[in-house]
Structure 1
Amino acid sequence: MKILIVENEIYLAGSIASKLADLGHECEITNNVKDALKYENFDVVLLSTALPGQDFYPVIDKFKDAIIILLIAYISNDTVLKPIQAGANDYIQKPFMLEELVRKIRHFEEHKRMKALLQSYEDYIQYTLRNYKIDDIDVKKVKLPLLIRTSKIPYADKFVQLYMSEMKTPFIFCPATKLVQIDKILKQNPKEYLYISNFQLLKNDEQERILSFSYKKKIVISTTDLELSVPFDTLDIVNKAQGFSVDEIVTIDEYIRHIITTYQDRFPDTELSKKLGISRKSLWEKRKKYDILKKK
């Protein structure tokens, strides 16, 4: 990494630079703010808060995207609190061991990397789920455990993503087929938030076993089985969008819903039910089940 050392104690600055160079870092040293502001693009800035007669805040402002660690002689509002509020990341008090300084640098380097990685994941998830709209659901009023019944699992994924964002709470994601992992979490980690997707893929006895452990747990379960009933809160998310992608496998229910919604105004019920291979009574029951209104 490129490290800028802004320190008026030249011996100390040289010692730090020498030891960091031995670890493979590229260091530059300056003993004043004016020269420090001439530099560009550093990963880390080690900034003394004891520069006689100099305002070091412009250094913090210029290198706000770098890891800024304050080199302080004593702890006070002026040496620690205010500079950190201005954008510095941390401080280390003189005299200090180089190992402690390196530990701090590595800690913030990893934190910065993980933050960027997390943002990439969030951007990807938001892009992937951008077409699944559930804006009318207030996640703050939802109680867990919760079963989400939906024709498309991504609607449930969207709900969990919104819940995590609104409640600042991470979930452990488990496809329903990972039974061993699910059992372990439910039995040993009751405080963890768990999201089990595609619950419909499990056998009845497997579903019953998981549900028996889910009561009073912080868990969300998603399924495309619109008839599944559980002894806790249920949320039905209806797919209001027409159509589906040609490269995805859809459920029979979803296909029938799509056909009814798309073609009910083009064909009379007798012809529509014939095309679907069901009776007119069954067509009426499907409309009621899917909450589809026919225009008069």
Structure 2
Amino acid sequence: MKNEKKNVVLIEDNLALGESIFDLLTLSDFNVKWLKNGYEALMYLNCNLPDIIISDLVMPVMGGDELFLKIRKSNKFNSVPFIIITANIDDETKFKQLENGVNDYIMKPFKTRELILKIKNILNLKDQISKKNSPDPFSKVTIKLSEKDFLVSINTILSKNIKKTIDIDELSSQLYVSKSTLDKKIRKRTNKNISQYMREFKLDYALKLIYLGERNIQFLVDETGFNSLSYFSTSFKKYVGLTPRDYIKSTQN
């Protein structure tokens, strides 16, 4: 059976270089999403989980180093390799990024073969580790997820469906548990019922967007998949203690 294409997120503000890398990766049988700066990438990554991220270091709006630190705050990106591509860089900066957890560097100008081989080698290693640690899908033994893994799985599904209303039936189906089991697990780990957890997950995303500078309340409603502005505003005030408008004003002081 043919292997599925790997999904690569490319972040590069230089249009000529970005186009060249995009074409190179596409021709090498990768699915590529090309974004022009770290902020665009952060918005995309909030709802998508690629197999690998390749980012320029210095870019307007948000650089690769800042983007890396932001996404690493989320557990879902722990296993997503991150490669920095950059021009002249001093050892201190390079060591700092490596200490932060960046997986590798590609120095400009680079040979195309070097980039492709590094990507393939990292992804192959990731696949080998994943296969080694994954349970046999045909085993009759039920492997219970740890508390951390269970919540990560839920958050991953919610992130992918952030712009729409995913119901409890669909969520429990994707997690291979009953609705009652799902609700019990959520209550045990968070002291919230599943509806509250899903709603507050969306509100947390809205708060992140506000933190990043978003001021349009209707945009927040659309991006978080609430059915109406009034429901979003009521839920937001109950969760935060302020209306969306008042909260946004408070962040500008």
TM range (shorter): 0.3 to 0.5
Normalized per residue, which structure has more strand? 1
Larger Rg, first or second structure (1 or 2): 1
Q: TM-score, normalised by structure 2?
A: 0.44
Normalized per residue, which structure has more helix? 2
